[in-house]
């Protein structure tokens, strides 16, 4: 069974990377692929970020490994040519969609309400470009967007909940789950289960989060749910944390996979959808034949 991580970030801050530094790019790409191999992950979607994961790096990495890596881009919605950027986004190899954030910076949802994202969203709907949404606490506003653009695929990141270590959890952590469940009636909305173990107060395999995930799976179905980890937010060095402080849901990459993969509640068909099939369908990522290894200089 193919396993695709629907949501991860790069293993470290990328301020040191300079466009054209091929050796550094190759090294860090191999580091990422090595971590995926060790955890048993076949492919992954990298979330670009202007400050942490530049689009140029993501484009270069996906071009080198189109069978294993794809990316979601963050665009400047206020750019004069944003409609052209969105219209041509899927023409770039490995680009599956775009991402908007209402949860960050604080108060950004007010810009959404004021129409700052209208050109991006309307063009994305016209051209069938999926849009991922980081919108913890703002899901009623996401519902408004989903109804305004009923054929636009919207994908809710991280269950639409605040998750540590960068966002303080709600009290209790699943307090706003009802906002997510209310979106299940909108057929163009799907959800990533990314980062769920960070909301656990118990050790691996995090049994306390299962009743909540079961609600999500029952509401949306596996055909609108995607497994993901949000690696490397939950493990490793990122954004000045050296290392990220431990918290109850701190976990390894493999644990972020097997807490769900090893559950016996799923049929094989359900696992096939949840761990990759749904992502390929909704985000339109076709299967790419594995590239042939590059011969060594010595043959």
Q: How high is the pLDDT of residue 23?
A: 74
Q: How high is the pLDDT of residue 98?
A: 97
In the chain, which residues have pLDDT < 70? 11-21, 50-53, 234-249, 290-299
- CA 88 and chain centroid, separation: 21
Cβ–Cβ under 8 Å, residues 198 and 164: yes
Length of the chain in terms of residues written = 299
Rounded-to-integer distance, Cα 224 and Cα 286, Å: 17
Provide the token pair at 54: 């530049």
To the nearest 5 percent, what fractions of the chain are helix, strand and coil?
Answer: 40, 15, 45
Strand partners, 69: 44
Rounded-to-integer distance, Cα 180 and Cα 154, Å: 12
> Peptide bond before 232: cis, by omega within 30 degrees of 0?
yes
Rounded-to-integer distance, Cα 22 and Cα 70, Å: 19
Number of other CB atoms surrounding residue 13 within 10 Å: 14
Q: How high is the pLDDT of residue 50?
A: 67
Q: How high is the pLDDT of residue 20?
A: 55
Question: DSSP character for 277?
Answer: I
DSSP H helical segments within the chain, as ranges?
A: 22-39, 55-64, 82-88, 108-113, 118-127, 139-148, 177-181, 210-220, 253-261, 268-272, 278-283
Q: How high is the pLDDT of residue 105?
A: 84
Query: To 5 degrees, how large is the angle CA 66–CA 279–CA 115?
Result: 100
């Amino acid at each position: 069974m193919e396993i695709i991580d629907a949501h991860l970030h790069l293993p470290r801050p990328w301020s040191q990377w300079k466009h054209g530094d091929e050796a550094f790019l190759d090294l860090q790409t191999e580091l990422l692929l090595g971590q995926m191999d060790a955890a048993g992950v076949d492919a992954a979607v990298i979330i670009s970020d202007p400050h942490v994961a530049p689009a140029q790096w993501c484009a270069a990495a996906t071009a080198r490994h189109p069978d294993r890596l794809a990316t979601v881009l963050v665009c400047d919605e206020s750019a004069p040519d944003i409609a052209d950027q969105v219209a041509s986004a899927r023409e770039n190899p490995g680009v599956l969609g775009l991402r908007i954030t209402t949860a960050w910076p604080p108060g950004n949802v007010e810009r959404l309400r004021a129409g700052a994202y209208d050109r991006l969203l309307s063009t994305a709907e016209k051209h069938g470009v999926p849009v991922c949404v980081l919108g913890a606490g703002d899901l009623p506003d996401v519902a408004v967007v989903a109804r305004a653009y009923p054929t636009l695929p919207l994908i809710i990141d991280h269950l639409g909940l605040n998750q540590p270590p960068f966002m303080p959890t709600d009290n209790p952590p699943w307090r706003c789950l009802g906002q997510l469940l209310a979106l299940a009636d909108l057929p163009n909305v799907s959800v990533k289960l990314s980062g769920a173990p960070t909301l656990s107060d118990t050790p691996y395999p995090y049994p306390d989060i299962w009743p909540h995930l079961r609600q999500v799976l029952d509401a949306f179905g596996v055909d609108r749910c995607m497994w993901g980890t949000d690696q490397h937010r939950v493990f490793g060095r990122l954004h000045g944390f050296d290392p990220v402080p431990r918290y109850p849901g701190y976990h390894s990459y493999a644990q972020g996979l097997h807490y769900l993969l090893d559950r016996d509640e799923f049929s094989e068909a359900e696992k096939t959808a949840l761990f990759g099939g749904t992502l390929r369908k909704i985000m339109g990522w076709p299967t790419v034949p594995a590239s042939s290894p590059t011969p060594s200089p010595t043959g």
